[in-house]
Amino acid sequence: VDWEGKVSLIQCAKAMGIQKYVFFSIHNCDMHPEVPLMEIKRCTERYLQDSGLNHITIRLCGFMQ
């Protein structure tokens, strides 16, 4: 799912009153903004934080992605 898809999912979850949103990210995604996938993960983490939606972010190692 690309950036717009992630934003849409988060907005939909918030509108539906989802109690907790679970997001799978990548370990150290904030340290590699030059890698597009890692930058999307970092931006999604920030967007979730700013959304006010109750969520948990699980940062997997790259192997688990």
Nearest to 45 by CA among 20, 23, 18: 23
- 19: DSSP letter: S
Domain map (residue ranges) of the chain = 3-64
**Three-state DSSP class for 20?**
coil
Q: Read off the pTM.
A: 0.87
**Three-state DSSP class for 14?**
helix
Note the pLDDT of residue 59.
95
Distance, in Å, from the CA atom of 40 to the CA atom of 45, rounded to the nearest integer, reads 9
Note the pLDDT of residue 65.
53
Note the pLDDT of residue 24.
94
All residue ranges of the chain with pLDDT < 50 are none
Note the pLDDT of residue 1.
79
Tell me the β-bridge partners of 23.
57
Note the pLDDT of residue 5.
96
